[in-house]
Structure 1
Amino acid sequence: MQREVAELRETALLLAHAAPPVTPSAELRSSLLEKIARTAQLPPQQIVAPETAGGAGDDHERVAPQRRPVPEMEPSETEARVLRPTGAAERRWFTRPAAILGAAAAAAALFFGGGAVISAVSGPGQSQEATASALDEIYAAPDFQRAVADVSTGGTATLVWSNELQRSAIVADGLTSLPGDRTYELWYIGDDGAVPAGTFDTTTDSAVTQVLKGEMSPGDVVGITVEPVGGSDQPTTDPIVALPSA
């Protein structure tokens, strides 16, 4: 159940970054303004005088407001191009069918899943805007990949990365809360040993997305350890989870 909630929360993040923003063209704006100008408008509603105590003997009558039907408009070719997902964004939907099947459940998880994804989208030291921008780049990369693993102390960790961009991010969900003198630390682990890639904290009722610092090399393993607050230059404990990128 915990893994399912974690996957739904990740799906919510994927949905948020599934398609790049589109700037409407000047042609589309002109087309919309033209249609507004020539679309029939509803007439003002006729004010009906209230009935008096005389009831049916009054000269006042109820007048039902008249409504003109508004003609339906088919979207122009330009509008259709803006509204229809294309290219890499469209392909990402079809390469992740689980995201489509879990969309409704992900929406429910956002409101009822024990913690709001949006409020916990970034770890300490990273603004939500910076985290969202980095995730946009990773999810949009042609070599986007992901891996999921259980954490030995509880919870799950999802690694998303792009070798082309040399960037990665961790979605940590359900990890145990640490004492005030401890923190979670991320590592790139390669042939030359472990390189620190940032620290983060979390609670058991929310998911945290942390973009790793530094550059990722192909084949690196991403690990998480528990370290003294402020982090360490080298791991002082065994990893609670290790996610290979090969």
Structure 2
Amino acid sequence: MTEQEFAELAAGHALDALSPVDEAAYQTALAAHPEWAAIAEQDAAAAAFLADGVAEVAPPAGLRDALVARIAEDVAAASVPPVPEVPAPVAAESAPEPPAQSSAPSTEEIQTVERRTWTRGLLALAASVVLLVGIGFGAATIGNLLTTPPAVSALAQIEDAPDAQEVSADVVDGGTATLHWSESVGKAVLVSDGLPEITDEQTFQLWFVRDDGAVSAGTFTAEDGETAALLEGDVETGDTVAVTVEQAGGSPTGQPTTEPITAIPTA
């Protein structure tokens, strides 16, 4: 067992959330590695701190964004437990003889490993929540962090950055679009309203338009013509960010196939 795996089990132990198998593995690893006891003690102290409740205090600068980004990744990874693929049955007459010296793991064994990996991911997420409360985040705040769309979280980070920039432009048929970006954060978000209606077979696609051509920055949909879309990639000096209407799934050519409905210069 690695130190990272032990740390995940220690978080679950502190929260009294381990299965009997994982609890036994935790105790065995702790006995074999007494130098890891400090990890267990820190998790236990954090869990006790959570149980007692504390007044909210301002976290250190920069710590909030780092934790929020990590938790968002953990939430996405832990949302649905992985389901192992089971190979299709092979006809008896064509099935090769298995090697005598080895045997493939059973479906039950595979599911056990996958389930333990998923469980430990959830325990790591729980430990992160304990840490957030320990540095002064309230329960309501944590709930918002776990459900906030990535584009909204990115927009908050951009707006807090000292080098935050924004430029607005018109959208065809009377809408507006505003590009928010920050080089220090390394993210850009397009906030728009009044976008034209499109069919289910179409999507909006973002582009970085540069001297050597257009580079896709992802696709997005809009509800009632409004959206906040996180761009894929970094804004470069002199880029123009454009939006086109493409077929569902994005442009099949890798380049815009329609005229932009908005174009926002960044320089």
More RCO (CA 8 Å, sep 6+): 1
Band the TM-score falls in, shorter-chain normalisation: 0.3 to 0.5
Q: Which has the higher helix share?
A: 2
Report the structure number with the largest CA radius of gyration. Answer: 1
> TM-score, with normalisation over the residues of structure 2?
0.43
